[in-house]
Structure 1
């Protein structure tokens, strides 16, 4: 059976035109994928466009296979391991973009984000999706 993460395209998540109204009220979020928490929130520094990978939220066989692939690639199965993998993937494949990426990971959550630009967020989501698919290729 084919792993569903081979079809991951977070960049195709619908972000409606009035998403900033939700951000101004509290935050915009999308929980379409159990392992990915996508949020847009206003913080002191500006608008934070975040993609949090929660490797233990999705208990499916597909996520188990994905975590195993991460481990075989030499990374720990936790938030820091996922951060190292994703940032390394972006650095290798999209080096000009890495300076736009911030991280805020913990042991059980990999947090990557960009600030202030929706187009950069779409790129980040695309690169995260590429990196996930690459692990399973």
Structure 2
């Protein structure tokens, strides 16, 4: 007996969702997390790649004893906020795009060291940063 139309649509939708979820990861063991919470821990952002909807607020929480910063490394925004140990900083991303972030104390604007990327809305992080902190970003 052939499956009814509803079953075919459910199966097709699940397969498409699975394919899209696999593509969203960026490959190579790096993933783009759908979260608004970022830890600053062991002189690194965790996760290093996040994707949020336009209008979302990202919260960075410094779990280290040393101060860190949330500093813009791309031309599409201007932020430079020092975050003492145990404190938080927030930023609301209103426009689609990829926003590069680094810590002035432990990273560089070339996205080496303590750095991360925030994808907003319809924007895609073409080259997600790896988990090690030594990657150099760009190319989006």
Same fold (TM over 0.5): no
What TM-score do the two structures reach when normalised by structure 1?
0.31
What TM-score do the two structures reach when normalised by structure 2?
0.30
Question: Which structure is higher in helix share?
Answer: 1
Question: Which structure is higher in strand share?
Answer: 2
The structure having more radius of gyration, on CA atoms, is 2
